[in-house]
Amino acid sequence: MEMGIVAGRVTATRKDDNLVGTKLLITQPIDLNGAPLNAQPIITVDTVGAGIGEKVIFVRGSMASRSMSNKDSPVDAAIVGIIDSLEYEDLKG
């Protein structure tokens, strides 16, 4: 999984039937210190109630669909947790 910060929201009226009712959030990947990485923000589904500005854990790929009540949803990125805290040693020094 990766860390990100919720940066916004996307509205799409015409969409796949299995995405109807889905909350689509723009998530910016961040490093362990919370700083934005030089990586494109991605569009994630959210089922844990994340809000703008919150630091989250997100999952990529087919397992993202496991977070949905509708397992047929064509999604490849999902917020699966909201980060309380991190403890780590920066091994890259």
By the rule CB under 8 A, 33 interacts with a copy of itself: no
For residues 67 and 88, give the distance between their C-alpha atoms in angstroms, rounded to a whole number: 27
By the rule CB under 8 A, 91 interacts with a copy of itself: yes
Number of shown-chain residues binding a copy of itself (CB under 8 A):
65
By the rule CB under 8 A, 23 interacts with a copy of itself: no
By the rule CB under 8 A, 88 interacts with a copy of itself: yes
Angle made by CA atoms 15, 61, 30, in degrees to the nearest 5: 100
Closest Cα to residue 10, out of 21, 25, 27? 25
Angle made by CA atoms 34, 43, 64, in degrees to the nearest 5: 90
Q: How far is the CB of 84 from a copy of itself (least distance, A)?
A: 4
Residues from 62 through 81 that contact a copy of itself (CB under 8 A): 62-67, 72-78, 80-81
